[in-house]
Structure formats: structure tokens, C-alpha cells
Structure 1
């Protein structure tokens, strides 16, 4: 194993990452000063160079997709694991001074891995890993708010809130290992969105390190900047260290069910009907659908008792055949665990598990549906789930609260008139099945084009997909606006240009950037 020792800095570039993985070696001319600067301002144990014994463990600790741990990926010069906002400030200031860009990671679920890797060979960058040590959750029952650090997972947030008060909750995603910072940055779809909106609809304040290395809150950053970080995507406007959130009320007991319908039992007919039923449901009731193989699973959360839910379902959605035997009552926190794990015996403490696996490869894509897909098309869709490489499709209902929020209220524009969001995802194990899995998801995505939104074909930034476009970089090292529009209008529709204007105002030199970060709006367009 080849190593290079740099005097007085204790920096060692390890050529071998894992036993079979290649690490690109950054230019020492740009990295010497950066690491030296960090070690002058941050405790040594918080700066992990590639020679550090824990570098590999920390890097892979929240990687959820092993397809980015390979010889085609540019990896960080070092990892900063801050315990305080001042450490993030130091990293930004050192990076600006020495020409090293930063990527911030909270949970590592970014579907394209852009929070911890570069898709561009030879790029020199460092990672600020908020998930390592900045994970505190502080709940105030008196005013139903909480401050949560960006490195906390959704599971940790839910657990802390519910254990403080059984009648308080927060609307965010189902998967408990997702990091708060990345989830909030993209909007935050929730199974309670029909009642309480997105995560970003319930954010009151934030503490952010800007491109100058200053720590600012909502008042100091200004309303345009605050607007942009609530759904404008990660890695564009600074590093959000913590968020102040508005907690929402839930009853002490909620009701859930999970009902499976096979193709032979009319799954296509029931999903077709679900599309028309969803907008008519009470806002307190949400039913999501998972399509996998030749079956559809209808998962529901109702903010009320079974005694109320059963007659609602009998009246509005009899096609599902839900009865009192299907209904379970439990606390809201228990419902989070049930909907994720689909097992009544799994304890809520499982929501705190941050363990990741490097055995399952994934690829995801997304769509939005504004007009119900015809029943016969759903029958054709199920045929795709009998093919080699197939995996699953998740349908998240919108409407309710979401219909009453203007598209420009936050950067997330997919509001009034959206019936549901689609997430397509495929999994595979090892390179030998990668081609089949990727061909399946790409072909299904192409098949769905006539039945989903168009001009633009809308997509959800939290289901990041580099296939829809990637930034080009100009000669002065700034992401170009025209290349950003290609993918940006799919994620943000009419809000993209405003996001680019905010970017130009707060980070014109494009310090915070990745392959799908917001580019600065050119002066001539303003």
C-alpha cells in the first residue's frame, strides 16, 4: 500500500480504499493548505484524512448505496465531523481560502450519492459529515416546537418528539434512517402531508453557515434565502446546521391498516379506484400504495380511532374491502414503526438504528400524476412487475392541505391538482444483475411518460436522478444556468429561476455546488 506523508500535517493519502477500491489522489498543491488550515481551527480528532484509522468507517457509515463505492467515484480529501457550528464555519473559510469545495452530508440517502462523492473524475473536495456528531433534538412542549440538528435521522426526531409528548409529532418521511438535513432541503413528503403539508411547511427558523463562513438565522439570512433552503435542494445555499420546526398535534391513539390485493384479486381495479377516492378522503386519512410483484399493498394512517375509520372506508372506498379486523389502534410513534417495518412486534427503538448495509444496490426515479391513469393502463403496469429486474413502485397521495398552498410558497412546486407522487425503485445485488435492473426501471419510466405530468415532466428532488440532467461548468468554475434549467424545471417548475436569483445573491461564485445544485442566475437574465 503506497502512502505519502506530509511533514507537520500528519496527512496520509491511502491509495487503497477497500482491498479492491481505487482512491483518486487530489492535487497536493490545493490540499496541503486546506488540511493545515483545518487543523489550526478544529480539534485534530474531528478531521479525518484518508490516513485516519476511522476514515473508511465514517465514510461508509451512512452510505446506503454501494454502487457509489467503486473505482469510478471521486472521494473526499478528508471528512470533517463537526460538534459545533463553529467547526462548519472553519471548514467553509478554509475551503474558500484554499480552493477546496465542500459537500455536506446528514443521512447519506441522496440517491445519487452527491453528498459524499463527486461524479466528476479528479474533483477535489471535502465532506462535512453532520450525521457523525450534530444530531441533537431539543423539544419545547410549551410552544410545540423543536430545534433539530441536521445530522439527526427522522427516526431520532420522531422518537425524541413522541417520548417528550405522545400528542405531538412531525410530518416527514417514512424511512427512519433518512437524515433531517437532506430531507428538509428537498421538501419532505409525509404520510401526514394531506393534513399538515410537507416538512418545509412546518419549518420556522434555521441556523446556516453561508458562503462567507458566517452563521446566520432566518432574520440574518433574509426571507429569500430562508425561502430557498426550504425545498430548494441540498448543496446550494450553505450548510444548514439546525432547524426550528413546528410540531403538529396527533391524538393519543391513531389507526392503521395494511391490506394486500393481488392481481387476481383485482389489484389494478382497486388502484384505479384509489386515484379517484384519494382527493375525497378526510385530510386526517392517508392511504399510500406499494406495488411489487403481482400485488399492491395499501398502507394507511388515520388520525383517529378505528370506530371512525371503518365507516369512512365503507362509505368512500368499499372496493378495498377494509373491515374492523384490518384496523389496528396504536400510538403515533408505534404507527411510524409499523408503516416502515410492517411488523407489529418491532419495537419503536428500531427507529433509532442507523446501521447501513453495503449489500443492496439501488436506482430510483420519480413522477407526479395530475390525471388518473386509466384502468387498462394499470393492468399493463402490473405486467412490468412480472419482468426480470423488477422491484417496486410507491404511490404517495397528495391533496388536502397541499391543494391550499400556492406553488411559489416554497421551492417545492408540486401542489394544487397533484393526485399523487410516484417513486420507482429497483434493487440488485452485485454487478452481474445491474444491467437488467437498470434496463427495467428506465424502460418502465419511458412507458409511463404519456400518463404523468409533462412540460415539464415533474420530478421530486429528494428522489434525485442524474439521468434527467446535470450541471455544466463554465470556464470560471461556475455552474451554468442553461444546463441547470434542463433538470431544475423538472424539480422546481416556475420556482427554478427564483432559486437561481437567490443563489446569485448569496453565492455568486458557486462555492456550494454539486452536479445538481442550483446555478447562479446570470446578470443578463435578471
Structure 2
């Protein structure tokens, strides 16, 4: 018997809105309303302190700075991209039921195969042939990324400050991933990933540039750090959590091919919270000589001579129950 693969279609939807500096949250909402065929207030579909129960299948709002090629004016554009498994007819019906104010039609959607969606997520224009994935020559792009978890709604003033700082950096995007739903149902200790219930969304600050040289690098890294510093009062605390897949060397890095326990405890608690202790035990049991390591890897238990430091093992065992 032969088995044939079933090619599943993926739909990608983008709705964009731009506002000119100086920016305001109210202006953004008004702009988004004007850009859609509104039958209901767009405000009802956005998370606010007055509306905390909205239900959305839209994924990853991505504020990004755009520059007018004619006037040179910089704006902040916010795109909502949905990656949907199924046909456009099914998605349009679902969106028009939950978000009638968007007025989505099948012509707003782009059905494609899995491999074609890979081309899209690689930031190529729609319609680019999949053969581009065979291209092994790429333009050098430098980047700096940081991440945060947000547990309380951001005020209008904070959002305005974020946009102004983004316009200052220019070559930056914020990737915002809403939480809740299934993510909140899974226990924080069920897997190494601990960022579950209590988070409104995760945000990545991603700055990118093509200019070579230390001056450009120093400038963009400094501006990215300034934006993250500005966000300190509005994100998670004790620890300030971070996403492990977005490596941030600012929160600790091992030197000289050695894994320092004290250094690892800092980034480890940010990435894994209380699960860090269990990961240390697993690492110590499976790889006691720390053969597999990187700049931000899980450490083994500290040792003195041939034994572990007295008192550490009971503390960690107590922490994991």
C-alpha cells in the first residue's frame, strides 16, 4: 500500500495601519477603524482594562517603523498576521463571525502550501518561487534581540513612549505574542517552559541593520538596551523573565568555555524560573562532566574536589519537591 502526503494549505492574513509621529494610542485606534469596514467598535476587539475577555485568532501584532520614500516621514505600522491551517472560506467565515468590523473577504487571504509559507516567513514577497530557498548567498544582516513578558495592560502613555523610541531606532520591530488559552492551562512546572498563566503577552524587541562596523553596532545595541530599560517598570519582575529561544547575552554569558554556576543561575532563573533547579539536577545526572555546553547552557552542580558543595544538593532537591 502506498501512502501519499496530504498538502495542507496555510493562510496568511495581514492588516496594517500607520500613524505619523507624534503618535497616540487613540489615534492608532481611530486609524485602524478607518482602515477597516467597521460595523462594530474596533475597541471591543482590543485588550483593555475595560475589555479583558476578548477572543482572537489573530496572531502576533508586530509594530514596525516605516519610512515614506517620498517625504522621509517615519511612521509606526502595526501588522496582525494570522497563520491558519485550512481553507480561506473557513477562515473568512470564522473571522466575520468574531471580527465583523474587519470586513475580511477571501481576496484578503493568500492560500499556500507549507513550503510556500516558509518563503513568506523568510520575509520574501508573496509569489516568490520556492526555489529561492536554495539560495545560499545572503546579505549580511546584524541584529540585537531582547524579550519580556507583560502581565498588566500597558497604558496609552507607555505605548506612545514605545512608538517614539521605535522611530528613534527606525530599524526595529516588536513581535508581540498574546498568551492565554491553552498556554495558560498547562502548569508552569509541566515542562521546562514556565511562562504560562498570568502573562498577557510576550514581546521581542528585534533591531536589525546592514551597516558594517563597530560604530553602527554600538549605536543599535545601545538603543535596543535603552528601549528595554524604559520597559522595566511595565514587565515581569523578580525575576524579569526572558524567552530562552531569543538568546540575550546581556543577562549573563559564560566565558573561556566554562559554565559558571553563579552566572548560569541569573539567566537560568529568567529563562526557566523555578524549573531551573530541576534542569540542573537533570544536567548533573546525564552530563556530569558538562561535555555539552554553550554560552548560556544549563550548569551542573558546583563541585569541590570530588564532591558537590555541601548543602547545595539538599536545597535543590527541596526546591523541586
TM-score (norm 2): 0.73
Unpaired segments of 5 or more residues in structure 1? 1-140, 143-163, 168-251
Query: 1:130-149 CA distances to partner (integer Å, 9 max, x unpaired)?
Result: xxxxxxxxxxx97xxxxxxx
SS of residue matched to 1:365: strand
Q: How big is the shift at 1:498?
A: 0.7
Aligned to 1:511: 291
Compute the displacement of 1:398 (Å): 3.4
Change (3 A) 1:494 1:352: farther
> What does residue range 48-59 of structure 1 map to in structure 2 within 5 Å?
none
Q: Residues 488, 505 of structure 1: CA spacing in aligned structure 2 closer, same or farther, 3 A cutoff?
A: same
Tell whether 2:174 aligns with 1:418.
no
User: Aligned with 2:131: secondary structure?
Assistant: helix
3-state secondary structure, aligned to 1:486: helix
Shift of 1:484: 1.3
Superposed, 1:81-230 pairs within 5 Å as 165-167=5-7
What's the CA shift for 1:472?
Answer: 6.8
1:452 matched to 2:235? The reply is yes
Would the alpha carbon gap of residues 494 and 389 (structure 1) be closer, same or farther in structure 2, given more than 3 Å must change? same
Provide the residue aligned with 1:114 in structure 2: none
Q: Which residue of 2 aligns with 1:199?
A: none
Instruction: Give the conservation status (yes or no) of the 8 Å contact 1:470–1:516.
Output: yes
Displacement of 1:348: 2.8
Cα separation, 1, equivalents of 2:53 and 2:116? 26
Q: 1:392 aligns with which of 160, 164, 173?
A: 173
Residue 39 of structure 2 corresponds to residue 258 of structure 1: no
My pick for the range that moved more, 509-518 or 293-302, is 509-518
Q: Secondary structure at the match of 2:163?
A: helix
* Length-normalised TM-score, structure 1: 0.47
Q: Does residue 525 of the first structure (1) align with residue 321 of the second (2)?
A: no
- 2:231 is paired with a residue whose SS is helix
Q: Cα RMSD between the aligned structures?
A: 3.2
Residue 176 of structure 1 corresponds to which residue in structure 2? none
User: Using the alignment, how far apart are the partners of 1:307 and 1:266 within structure 2?
Assistant: 32
In the TM superposition, residue 373 of structure 1 has moved relative to its aligned partner by 2.0
Measure, in 2, the Cα distance between the counterparts of 1:324 and 1:267.
25
- 2: CA distance, partners of 1:268 / 1:484: 43
Q: Specify the alignment match of 1:39 in structure 2.
A: none
Residue aligning to 1:201: none
Tell me the residue number matched to 1:291. 63
Consecutive unaligned residues of structure 2, counting only runs of 5 or more, are 21-25, 33-41, 66-75, 303-307, 314-321
Alpha-carbon distance change, 286 to 349 in structure 1, aligned in 2, over 3 angstroms: farther
The number of equivalent residue pairs is 275
Deviation at 1:404, TM superposition (A): 2.6
- Cα distance 1:322–1:380, how it changes in 2: closer, same or farther (>3 A)? farther
Q: Secondary structure at the match of 2:11?
A: strand
CA positional deviation for 1:266: 4.4
2:190 is equivalent to residue 406 of structure 1: no
1:295, CA displacement in angstroms? 0.8
CA contact (8 A) 2:47 2:54 kept: no
Q: Deviations over 1:463-515 (max 9, x none)?
A: 11111112478xxx963322211111001111111111112112223232333
Question: In the TM superposition, what whole-angstrom CA distance separates every residue of 1:41-90 from its partner, at most 9, and x where no partner exists?
Answer: xxxxxxxxxxxxxxxxxxxxxxxxxxxxxxxxxxxxxxxxxxxxxxxxxx
Per-residue deviation at 1:364? Answer: 0.9
Q: Which has the higher contact order (CA 8 A, sep 6+)?
A: 2
Give the direction of change, closer, same or farther, for the CA distance of 1:436–1:479 in structure 2 (3 Å limit): closer
Structure 1 residues 387 and 267, CA gap change in structure 2 (3 angstroms)? same
Distance (whole Å) between structure 1 residues aligned to residue 127 and residue 245 of structure 2: 30
- CA distance, structure 1, for counterparts of residue 148 and residue 251 of structure 2: 12
- Which one of the candidate residues 128, 147, 158 is aligned to 1:366? 147
Deviations 1:191-224 (A, max 9, x none): xxxxxxxxxxxxxxxxxxxxxxxxxxxxxxxxxx
Q: CA deviation at 1:275?
A: 4.4
Report deviation, 1:350: 3.1
Kindly tell me: are residues 478 and 441 of structure 1, through their superposed partners in 2, closer, same or farther at Cα, counting changes over 3 Å? closer
Q: CA deviation at 1:268?
A: 6.2
CA distance in 2, matches of 1:299, 1:315: 18
| CA drift at 1:321 | 5.4
Kept in 1: contact 2:18–2:28 (CA 8 A): yes
